[in-house]
Amino acid sequence: MGMGFDKETFKKSVLFNMKNVFRRTVDEATKEQMYQAVAYAVKDVIIDEWIATHKEYEKQDVKTLYYLSMEFLMGRALGNNIINIMAQPEVKEVLDELGFDLNAIEDQEPDPALGNGGLGRLAACFLDSLATLGYPAYGCGIRYRYGMFKQKIENGYQLEVPDDWLKNGYPFEIRRAEYATEVKFGGYVNTVWENGKERFVQEGYQSVRAVPYDMPIVGYGNNVVNTLRIWDAEAINTFSLDSFDKGDYQKAVEQQNLAKTIVEVLYPNDNHYAGKELRLKQQYFFISASVQRAVKKYMEAHEDIHKFYEKTVFQLNDTHPTVAVPELMRILLDEYGLGWDEAWEITTKTCAYTNHTIMSEALEKWPIELFSRLLPRIYQIVEEINRRFQLTIMEMYPGNQDKVKSMAIIYDGQVRMANLAIVGGFSVNGVARLHTEILKNQELKDFYQMMPDKFNNKTNGITQRRFLLHGNPLLADWVTKKIGKDWIVDLPHIHRLAVYAEDPKCQQEFMDIKYQNKVRLADYIREHNGIEIDPRSIFDVQVKRLHEYKRQLLNILHVMYLYNQLKDNPNLEMVPRTFIFGAKAAAGYKRAKLTIKLINAVAEVINNDRSINGKIKVVFIEDYKVSNAEIIFAAADVSEQISTASKEASGTGNMKFMLNGALTLGTMDGANVEIVEEVGSDYAFIFGMTSDEVIRYEKEGGYDPMEIFNQDYEIRRVLMQLINGYYSPEDPELFRDIYNSLLNTISSDRADTYFILKDFKSYAEARSRIASAYQDEAWWAKAAILNVASSGKFTSDRTITEYVNDIWHLSKVKVELEE
Ligand code: Z57
């Protein structure tokens, strides 16, 4: 932009912050101090736009989105903010003049990792797109003291290390004590009579003070700055710690502990529900605070609470924020004195729900006992919602107990959060076309039949500003040179690249850039893992959370199979391949952690076997996170998207790879289906069962992995190597559990739940097609360029535009800065 951005002013600001914060000059400063000083100087620039944006929102009395999410996996802010205020060249020059390298300074920032994986990163991409498109929106979440753990690999095992991201303070956040509010837990509900009406009040409760911290979300080059509001918990000291009354003292201590524990740490589970009481406390804590604040803000500018939904929409990111439904009801009923029907109308016109998974172990169901003890008034309201909804079911389907059984909100002693989210809102959406169809025809069939109009699809997307412009500057510059910079805010323009796909010179340029990015990743891996890899080999990459359904096991079993082939025939012609993994396993997920150990054990043997001439290398990248993801995507040739069909709701890594010119090796699952549709099936490698086949086997049975084991020697040999000490001579039994999971019905109700053996042959065949294809460099370059050119659909700008048009109905705002 430069318009408002002045280099000299900026430099002065850096020097001023260095002096003011650290009492130092630039010559004395460490890189970490320089990072902080630069971050504060960038914040100075942002603040004016932030204020201007919110002035405009107030002036235009805009409708506002509240994106309610337990997770925001933001990644580093500094580099992204510099890009979005369009000051990158200038900031880089200033730093050069001061003797610092911008990349090295950006590297000082800890990754704010307030999320697990896809769901949290999607929320972060959405915030970027909302600001860039100029839509009024808040992200609302929790300011976890410790985010996603740091992963260390020791002796091949994952170790979890606390992520103390706030240790040195976080320059971009601002504490907003003026918006603090009280959140109440426990106690009991009392009925009082007030001018002839019954009123409910919670008594004997414990409470905490919710204090928001705001982070700026900077739109690209448009002066719009939205807010990520994350809540911290502080103790309320209505009771005194030096009290002589034992009861008061006890209560004061308890409330202090509650405040401390509630925001202490992010639960490190992805696609898995653990059912811990503290998790429900976290949910109600940030929801109550966010909803209270949204109502207050609305009433500061409006008279009539009945029209709340005209100016407010709550998007529930999965079921985790579903207590927003009864919490809004509570506020309307108990604090504004509305009747049930009017409160219900407002609530159901305000809330909308996104489903992100069909994995049954991710379904949130709270025991009534726990739920009602922690949230007594909220539970009463949920009971009444359920009572009325069951009446509706029985009216529509008289005598049909199956319908009640599948759709009831309270059933079998549990509160089912998905059912509450569906009933309590006006929209239910899936996150890729296939996923939404499965919801409508399988998982949520009864709801779909009862309320078809609520259901809609919003295929996920990613922000090209972070995952190409910031993460892959070489390719970004090349694209801009070829087709101009429209793609930055309008990704479908990237299709203009297609005309260069067959041009030999362009192919060469493209492959050179890919090569340089592979060198950058090889350097990173040498520095962080001490492993040497060949940038001329195929970089075959699977990075994502470790989960059985994502089938990292299929990948490593196939590597074991390839290695056997090479050992049988050392002269076998093979394109050198580097198999790169990156994955965190939930701390309590035993089999996932054992899979990490297996990958590292296989790597250890293969990487140290001189006889195979470096034809295969296996690398497990420690601590996969947003900041190194940017480097990994840029360097990938092959994108592994190999989930059991029907299990991966969408996937978003698949889109980041495509945008960076990697070819997809995948199943027809999630958004892979749409990726293949966009690029054409000639330029993606598809294998394995379809979701229909998987679902049919799951319903009707008839799959026996032992048959495959019996009949296929190669597969049998690989599986035997899991239990004969081939990769774990010191403990041959080490991988027994993995072996059992594939063959033994005792270890789970069905062996090979994720159809790994069933898909193995087809995967092996697809992988060999890839290896041959890579040898034709011109073809590969063309295919890679076509992937980049066809990625336009997968921008989160498109996803957000669809949410706005179909669900949120927001208006775009323009922000002009007074110079
Ligand atoms: C999570 O990361 C996802 C779904 C969940 O229910 C939970 Br809990 C965590 C992921 C899906 O697994 C991905 O397929 C999807 O792309 C992503 O959410 C964003 O929608």
Is the Cβ atom of 71 under 6 angstroms away from ligand 1? no
Query: Which fold is adopted by the domain 61-76+112-460+802-808?
Result: Rossmann fold (3.40.50)
What does the pLDDT read at residue 750? Answer: 87
What does the pLDDT read at residue 261? Answer: 98
As a whole number, mean pLDDT of residues 754-783 equals: 98
| DSSP secondary structure letters along 307-363 | GHHHHEEEEEESSTTTTHHHHHHHIIIIIS---HHHHHHHHHHHEEEE-----GGG-
Q: Is residue 819 scored above 80 in pLDDT?
A: no
Is the Cβ atom of 669 under 6 angstroms away from ligand 1? no
19 band by pLDDT with thresholds 50, 70 and 90: very high
What does the pLDDT read at residue 179? Answer: 98
747 band by pLDDT with thresholds 50, 70 and 90: low
Chain mean pLDDT for the chain: 97
Which of 72, 116, 122, 271 is the pocket-test mutation for ligand 1 (most atoms within 8 Å of CB)? 271
Residue type, 548: E
Query: How much is the ipTM here?
Result: 0.98
Integer Cα distance of 368 and 372 in angstroms: 6
As a whole number, mean pLDDT of residues 456-480 equals: 99
CA of 356 to the centre of ligand 1 (A): 5
DSSP 465: I
- Segment 583-601, tens digit of pLDDT: 999 999 999 999 999 999 9
What does the pLDDT read at residue 1? Answer: 43
H/E stretch holding 766: helix 756-775
Ranges for all domains in the chain classified under CATH 3.40.50.2000? 61-76+112-460+802-808, 464-688+756-794
Q: Are strands 150-154 and 157-161 parallel, antiparallel or unpaired?
A: antiparallel
CA of 217 to the centre of ligand 1 (A): 22
Q: Is residue 818 scored above 90 in pLDDT?
A: no
CA of 654 to the centre of ligand 1 (A): 13
As a whole number, mean pLDDT of residues 491-498 equals: 98
> Would you state the torsion angle of the CA atoms of residues 343, 349, 351, 352, taken in this order, to the nearest 10 degrees?
150
Integer Cα distance of 576 and 582 in angstroms: 20
What does the pLDDT read at residue 794? Answer: 99
What is the set of active-site residues? 356, 544-545, 550, 652, 656
Nearest to 152 by CA among 626, 551, 624: 624
Integer Cα distance of 517 and 528 in angstroms: 16
- SS3 category, 759: helix
3 band by pLDDT with thresholds 50, 70 and 90: low
For residue 671, CA distances in Å to 181, 553, 651 come to: 40, 21, 6
What does the pLDDT read at residue 83? Answer: 98
- SS3 category, 217: strand
What does the pLDDT read at residue 237? Answer: 76
Kindly report which listed range (220-229, 250-259, 353-362, 603-612) carries the lowest average pLDDT score: 250-259
CA of 118 to the centre of ligand 1 (A): 5
- Superfamily of segment(s) 464-688+756-794: Glycogen Phosphorylase B; (3.40.50.2000)
682 band by pLDDT with thresholds 50, 70 and 90: very high
Is the Cβ atom of 268 under 6 angstroms away from ligand 1? no
The residue ranges of DSSP E strands in 38-155, in sequence order, are 64-68, 137-142, 150-154
User: Could you tell me which residues come within 8 angstroms of residue 295 by beta carbon, excluding any fewer than 6 positions away?
Assistant: 305, 308, 328, 331
Q: Is residue 2 scored above 50 in pLDDT?
A: no
What does the pLDDT read at residue 241? Answer: 74
As a whole number, mean pLDDT of residues 125-129 equals: 99
Is the Cβ atom of 266 under 6 angstroms away from ligand 1? no
What does the pLDDT read at residue 194? Answer: 87
Integer Cα distance of 49 and 47 in angstroms: 5
